[in-house]
A and B are shown apart, each in its own frame.
Chain A
Amino acid sequence: MGSYMGYQVQNLLLGEGERAQRQVRFRQRASRRVREELGVLKGPAMKLGQMLSMQTETLPEEALQELATLQMQAPGMHASLARAQFKSSLGKYPEQMFRKFDPEPFAAASLGQVHRAVTLKGEKVAVKIQYPAIRSAIENDFKLLKSATLPTQLTGHVPAALIEEIRRGILEETDYLREADNLEFFRKGLSGLEYMVIPRVYRELSTDRVLTISYIEGESLGDFLKRKPSGAMRDLLGTRILEMYRTQIYRLNALHADHHPGNYLFQSDGHIGLVDFGCVKRMSFNLSELDGCHCRRSWRESEAAARHFLALAYGPRAPYSRARKMLPMMERMSDAFYPQSASADIVIDYRDPKSYAKFREISRQHQKLVLQNKLINPEFAFLIRANIGLGHLLHELGATVNISEVRRRVPAAPLIGHYE
């Protein structure tokens, strides 16, 4: 990132017109660099870097989007190691437990790799195998990271709670049984959306380090786009993805937080497969309530209402004196996201960054102020990353989505609870 600072210095010396051109070129290069450099770390440090840059939004948009989709990767396993690790976890070799087992993986997954297989009953499955002893390796890395980030923890800019939240998220990813629970939870919770395809778990063929799920047909986003799907199809898929996302956060109060494009499988009839439920955030707060507050501008009502709202947004431990400074920003955010004079629907063409630049700019300014006032709420860490990742996905897909329409279809649940 040294080159980013170099660029900023150079920028002062250049004229306006040239600057804009250079900026685009540079940002594309920078985002690739950042991704590559963080990608090399491939572990908790990468993840921490990723999450922190999401929180602070200090990087250019392109870099943020690239970063949001970075995944933790484990070293690849050759067939002998994958087999050995399978046995170390399940007690038998894959060929003893499956009719067919492909020794070559077909996909990399977070912390492991995925193999095709056929069960003894003849069902096609995907078997995810975790690299051995990755959990203890991650735990060790975090001990180091905790002390490395101590200065920022002491100044309060990066609260220890945020690092703890990221640690929790990553360690949860190492437990495939938890992922199995997540899969079943979302499979049930999203069953109302007939176009969503979520794999079934084979419990008898799964452990905390091996996960066997039904094989989902479908193409990766890149392959799907190569076949030049119609604009209507892309819009439909984009709308569906957003509807599914809103259903998660407003109905299930839980979130598939890893919007890596590889986790989506597109089928030609508009069905969408969703895999890799390792990184799931179960929210401890009610996002619908926060939404309701925004719609009503609840903080204007009374000091108690303002206190309640700010505790929702920045966590119960955020001091009111500091959090209060955010209220003018909240007015602006509400005006952008929840306009009171809703004359026309909000429609976003995700191909064109300009069409959502207004929203991104506001949330960027908001995050900057959050950082300045030391108000980072760890509860939102995964939500922010998911939002940015989702934006990237819809941009790649090139969809135009009527946001208001999706909101009407999945409204925030009615306000629950009272102010004390």
Chain B
Amino acid sequence: MKRKASRAPAEKGRGKRVQNKENTKRAILRAALELFAEQGFYRTTTKAISRKARIAEGTLFNYFQTKEDLALYFFEQELDEVIQWYERDRRIQRAALAEKLFAIIHRFLERLTPYEEFIGAVYLRALAPTSKLSPWSLQTQERNIRYLRFIRGILAEAEVSGELPPVGDFGAYAFGLFHLAIVTHWLRDRSRGKEQTLALLDRCLKLGAHVLKKGGWDW
């Protein structure tokens, strides 16, 4: 009893520290994103970010050593947001598979829209095999697995309902690559309102769902 009572405040204190740390991290990200949207990614200095987040510039480096770290954190937050949105949205959960997948990628893209330059910059860096942002880096594995599990869940439901033949984990991996390809297209899309990406996304998903359902090309 005694030990238990004495441990509780310590636990509480640590929880609070973790919470504070998380809050600071979010404040920094928010400040950085605002500045990226206002001034552009390349022109934003760490000094400006720390000033906006109301922390010392040195503290900033305790949390994020590079802009890549910032991007990593950003993508984690985005994934959380999209998963939460999906779990809240009853209508989309009842929609056909092609629409569900469309809405998920579109939700990501839409959230990236204000930070296009930032995403474009980190995307280029992610191509380097040694980059932390590379989809094969150690740092992205936790997020990747969470993403794959999320998509795998949606595909599994479609398998149960007969919308999709069994595609297994492979389906989720393939969709992940498709997602990356769409983001690349989106970054290069100069059409008004990026409508080319909307059309491409829609057609690919409808075609993909159709082909998978039929079990191959219907020549």
Q: State whether B198 touches A88 (Cβ < 8 A).
A: yes
Measured CB to CB, the closest approach of chain A to B137, in angstroms, equals: 31
Measured CB to CB, the closest approach of chain B to A95, in angstroms, equals: 12
**Which residues 185-213 of B have a CB within 8 angstroms of A?**
191-196, 198-199, 202-203, 206
Contact A136/B99 with A77-B202, A81-B202, A88-B198 known, Cβ cut-off 8 Å? no
Which of A75, A85, A103 sits near B195, CB closer than 8 Å? A85
B55: CB under 8 A from chain A?
no
Which of B106, B193, B196 sits near A89, CB closer than 8 Å? B193
A43: CB under 8 A from chain B?
no
Q: State whether A88 touches B95 (Cβ < 8 A).
A: no
Which of B91, B102, B196 sits near A133, CB closer than 8 Å? B196
Which of B102, B191, B196 sits near A80, CB closer than 8 Å? B102
Bits for B167-191, please: 1 = Cβ < 8 Å to A, else 0. Answer: 0000000000000000000000001
**Residues of chain B lying within 8 A (CB to CB) of residue A84:** 106, 110, 198
Bits for B78-103, please: 1 = Cβ < 8 Å to A, else 0. Answer: 00000000000001100110110011
CA distance A131 to B200 in the complex (A): 11
**Which residues 114-159 of B have a CB within 8 angstroms of A?**
none
**Residues of chain A lying within 8 A (CB to CB) of residue B99:** 78-81
Q: State whether B195 touches A79 (Cβ < 8 A).
A: no
Number of residue pairs spanning A and B whose beta carbons lie under 8 angstroms apart: 54
A132: CB under 8 A from chain B?
yes
**Which residues 121-145 of A have a CB within 8 angstroms of B?**
131-134, 136-137
Q: Which residue of A lies closest to B191 (CB)?
A: A133
**Residues of chain A lying within 8 A (CB to CB) of residue B110:** 84
Q: State whether B203 touches A75 (Cβ < 8 A).
A: yes
**Residues of chain A lying within 8 A (CB to CB) of residue B206:** 75
**Residues of chain A lying within 8 A (CB to CB) of residue B95:** 78-80
**Residues of chain B lying within 8 A (CB to CB) of residue A137:** 199
**Residues of chain A lying within 8 A (CB to CB) of residue B91:** 79, 103
Measured CB to CB, the closest approach of chain B to A352, in angstroms, equals: 45
Contact A136/B191 with A78-B98, A80-B103 known, Cβ cut-off 8 Å? yes
> Taking each of A85, A133, A137, which has the highest tally of chain B beta carbons within 10 Å of its own beta carbon?
A133
Q: State whether A80 touches B92 (Cβ < 8 A).
A: yes
Contact A88/B193 with A78-B102, A80-B92, A80-B102 known, Cβ cut-off 8 Å? yes
**Residues of chain B lying within 8 A (CB to CB) of residue A132:** 195-196, 198-199, 202
Measured CB to CB, the closest approach of chain B to A157, in angstroms, equals: 34
**Residues of chain B lying within 8 A (CB to CB) of residue A79:** 91, 95, 99
CA distance A209 to B192 in the complex (A): 11
**Residues of chain B lying within 8 A (CB to CB) of residue A89:** 192-193, 195
CA distance A135 to B219 in the complex (A): 28
**Residues of chain B lying within 8 A (CB to CB) of residue A75:** 202-203, 206
CA distance A134 to B196 in the complex (A): 9
Q: Chain B: interface secondary structure?
A: helix
Measured CB to CB, the closest approach of chain B to A80, in angstroms, equals: 4
**Residues of chain A lying within 8 A (CB to CB) of residue B92:** 80
CA distance A80 to B103 in the complex (A): 6
CA distance A134 to B199 in the complex (A): 8
Q: State whether B199 touches A131 (Cβ < 8 A).
A: yes
CA distance A75 to B204 in the complex (A): 13
CA distance A133 to B106 in the complex (A): 16
**Residues of chain A lying within 8 A (CB to CB) of residue B96:** 78
**Residues of chain B lying within 8 A (CB to CB) of residue A134:** 199
Measured CB to CB, the closest approach of chain B to A312, in angstroms, equals: 41
Q: Which residue of A lies closest to B100 (CB)?
A: A80
Measured CB to CB, the closest approach of chain A to B112, in angstroms, equals: 14
**Residues of chain A lying within 8 A (CB to CB) of residue B102:** 78, 80-81
CA distance A137 to B106 in the complex (A): 21
> Taking each of A103, A132, A137, which has the highest tally of chain B beta carbons within 10 Å of its own beta carbon?
A132
CA distance A89 to B198 in the complex (A): 12
Bits for A72-103, please: 1 = Cβ < 8 Å to B, else 0. Answer: 00010111110011011100000000000001
CA distance A134 to B92 in the complex (A): 25
CA distance A132 to B194 in the complex (A): 9
**Residues of chain A lying within 8 A (CB to CB) of residue B203:** 75
CA distance A19 to B218 in the complex (A): 39
> Taking each of B95, B199, B206, which has the highest tally of chain A beta carbons within 10 Å of its own beta carbon?
B199
Measured CB to CB, the closest approach of chain B to A83, in angstroms, equals: 9
**Residues of chain A lying within 8 A (CB to CB) of residue B98:** 78
Q: Which residue of B lies closest to A77 (CB)?
A: B202
CA distance A78 to B92 in the complex (A): 11
Q: State whether B195 touches A88 (Cβ < 8 A).
A: yes
CA distance A81 to B99 in the complex (A): 8
**Residues of chain A lying within 8 A (CB to CB) of residue B198:** 81, 84-85, 88, 132-133
Measured CB to CB, the closest approach of chain A to B131, in angstroms, equals: 31
**Residues of chain A lying within 8 A (CB to CB) of residue B193:** 85, 87-89
Which of A78, A87, A136 sits near B196, CB closer than 8 Å? A136
**Residues of chain B lying within 8 A (CB to CB) of residue A131:** 199
**Residues of chain A lying within 8 A (CB to CB) of residue B106:** 80, 84
**Residues of chain A lying within 8 A (CB to CB) of residue B191:** 133, 136
| A78-B95, A133-B195 given; 7 more Cβ-contact pairs under 8 Å | A78-B102, A80-B95, A80-B103, A80-B106, A88-B198, A132-B195, A134-B199
Q: Which 6 interchain pairs have the tightest Cβ spacing? A: A88-B193, A132-B195, A132-B198, A133-B199, A80-B103, A78-B99
Residues of A within 8 A of B (CB): 75, 77-81, 84-85, 87-89, 103, 131-134, 136-137, 209
Give me 22 A-to-B residue pairs in the complex whose CB atoms sit less than 8 angstroms apart, sorted by A's number: A75-B203, A75-B206, A79-B95, A80-B99, A80-B102, A80-B106, A81-B198, A84-B110, A84-B198, A85-B195, A87-B193, A88-B192, A88-B193, A88-B198, A89-B192, A103-B91, A132-B195, A132-B198, A133-B196, A134-B199, A136-B191, A136-B196
